[in-house]
Structure 1
Amino acid sequence: MTLHHEIRGLDGKDAPTIVLSSGLGGSDAYWAPQIELLHLLFRVVTYDHRGTNRSGGRATGEIAAMANDVLEIAAKAGIDRFHFMGHALGGLIGLDLALRPASPVESLVLVNAWGWADPHSGRCFDTRITLLEKAGVEAFVRAQPLFLYPAVWMTENAERLEAEIAHGIAHFQGRDNVLTRIAALRAFDVEARLGEIAVPTLVVAARDDLLVPYTRSLALADAIPQAALALSDFGAHAVNITEPAWFNAAVGSFLTALGKGSAP
């Protein structure tokens, strides 16, 4: 079963294509602040991960299987080659794809991602799992913004945050899916293979990310041969949402420098 996906932006089978993959939440709506920019440069493919939102089925327990889902979407759309932007877990999917023989990936944008899960991130996930198991779905969802956003941003966006929490509770992907997806990202480890990635890569991170230490991004940028680093002092784990102007400028500069379009 092909996952729910949407294609927008440039038309034509020869149009440059970018696939966007979100993190643990799995929703294509995560990338809303980037669509206006990207649809001017690319045919943009967004999708809901297996077992989340509008995609049915059960979550898969390996990042490689999640990457296979992307290849299935691309094949159905007749896409042979694509650029890829992934946030956190989505970034791991991009790394898996980029490391495959005859990889279809032309470039990578990795947002607060990692080559292996830092023990600090493990503590954060253990806390979230305990909330889910002991306090229930509402407590789990209400705690999620603490790991995504800066405190001042949450204060300034309180109404938006409450709407987001209500939506997250109403459309919760399910206990088993969450646990399966967390286990997959914790098991992922390609640190020793990062030097094999042969495509231009932009590593994006925020120093104040509570969930994933920005040093994981520094390690990616150091190890991937054609990597550039965009590092913000502010923005936390969901920096593309909290600092969209900075993020879009960094990503837009990287992508247009590859000769794939003109800056809007």
Structure 2
Amino acid sequence: MTLHFEVHGVDSDAPSVLMSSGLGGSAGFWRPQLPGLVAAGWRVVVYDQRGTNRSPGVLPDDYAIADMAHDVVEVLDASGTARCHLVGHALGGLVGLQLALDAPERVASLVLINAWSRPNPHSARCFDARIALLAGSGRRAYVEAQPIFLYPAAWSAAHAEHVAAEVDHAYDNFPGDANLLARIGALRAFDVDARLGDIGVPTLVATATDDVLVPWTCSQRLADGLPNATMDRVVHGGHAHNVTEADAFNPVLLKFLAQQTQQQKQPTHNQPDATFSGQRK
């Protein structure tokens, strides 16, 4: 089985950022960030997570965030990336936390966008409702509801064509009920709350107060529990505020990453592993 990844940026010796998306699993989620990162001189690796989009495959019922972190190690090896600054949204942030515990030598810093360290009852209720919608009304209803959890209502109304196209794409590339349920099960079981003190890398915790899926207090708990964390909290933007408020988010991201290059001398690349698919852009 292969994972689809892309490497953006022309300087092969530049420091590397790996970006891990949320439940949708798509490399395309990071379009609002890619141009600015590349223009700032970063080498950026994005990938489609296993069992989604261009990385097909059947996931086992017991698929876990630890398995997703192992997949990141394989993407790093395949793309010739010895160490990375990992930027993760929601589920992707959980993958980053797990990777920092399991393979700390591969992680130079973390950016956690609306992520969490342990289950909470509000998010559990949201996922219960989404699972029931999938079971009772089918895939189309499930993907039509996705923007409600991702975006503020005013932003969705103002970008109706974009949202409609995104919903159609999600429907056309639906990973299958079993894969989706396995991925939801993995994120719902994730709990590293007691181990946050073991993650010492510099971390930017980014959150939006109006996130309707993950309470911003989950990010506050991360910032309080991680030994080397700073928190950027915005009032508006929803669960995907790096998309809806990209003009505000991107300078914060770039500033944090620039600070890391000043503080760390990062190893760059290994030899790529030819068993993985990928393309350089």
Category of TM-score, reference length = shorter chain: over 0.9
Amino acid of the residue matched to residue 160 of structure 1? H
Q: What does residue 239 of structure 2 align with? A: 237
| Matched ranges for 1:192-203 at <5 A | 192-203=194-205
Structure 1 gaps of 5+ residues are none
Amino acid of the residue matched to residue 203 of structure 1? V
CA separation of 1:4 and 1:52: change in aligned 2, threshold 3 A? same
C-alpha distance in 2 between matches for 1:90 and 1:184: 12
Shift, 1:10, TM fit: 4.1
SS of match in other structure, 1:259: helix
Contact 1:88 1:112 in 2 (8 A): yes
Shift, 1:72, TM fit: 0.6
| Matched ranges for 1:67-146 at <5 A | 67-146=69-148
Shift, 1:77, TM fit: 2.0
Q: What does residue 213 of structure 1 align with? A: 215
| Matched ranges for 1:46-65 at <5 A | 46-59=46-59, 61-65=63-67
Shift, 1:235, TM fit: 0.2
Amino acid of the residue matched to residue 168 of structure 2? A
CA separation of 1:4 and 1:37: change in aligned 2, threshold 3 A? same
C-alpha distance in 2 between matches for 1:118 and 1:136: 26
Confirm whether residue 3 of structure 1 aligns to residue 21 of structure 2: no
Contact 1:97 1:103 in 2 (8 A): no
TM-score normalised to structure 2 length: 0.90
C-alpha distance in 2 between matches for 1:116 and 1:176: 23
State the identity %.
Answer: 53
Structure 2 gaps of 5+ residues are 264-281
TM-score normalised to structure 1 length: 0.96
Amino acid of the residue matched to residue 197 of structure 1? I
Among 249, 256, 261, the alignment partner of 1:254 is 256
CA separation of 1:260 and 1:50: change in aligned 2, threshold 3 A? farther
Number of matched pairs: 260
Contact 1:2 1:69 in 2 (8 A): no
Shift, 1:260, TM fit: 5.7
C-alpha distance in 2 between matches for 1:256 and 1:120: 35
CA RMSD, Structure 1 to Structure 2 (Å): 1.3
Contact 1:87 1:111 in 2 (8 A): yes
Deviation per residue, 1:4-29 (Å, 9 max, x gap): 000011422x3211100000000000
Among 224, 227, 237, the alignment partner of 1:225 is 227
Confirm whether residue 25 of structure 1 aligns to residue 27 of structure 2: no
Confirm whether residue 181 of structure 1 aligns to residue 183 of structure 2: yes
C-alpha distance in 2 between matches for 1:212 and 1:59: 25
Q: What does residue 169 of structure 2 align with? A: 167
Following superposition, which runs of at least 4 residues in structure 1 exceed 3 angstroms of deviation?
Answer: none
Shift, 1:259, TM fit: 2.5
Shift, 1:103, TM fit: 3.0
C-alpha distance in 2 between matches for 1:201 and 1:35: 20
Deviation per residue, 1:56-99 (Å, 9 max, x gap): 11235100111111101111222111110000000000000111
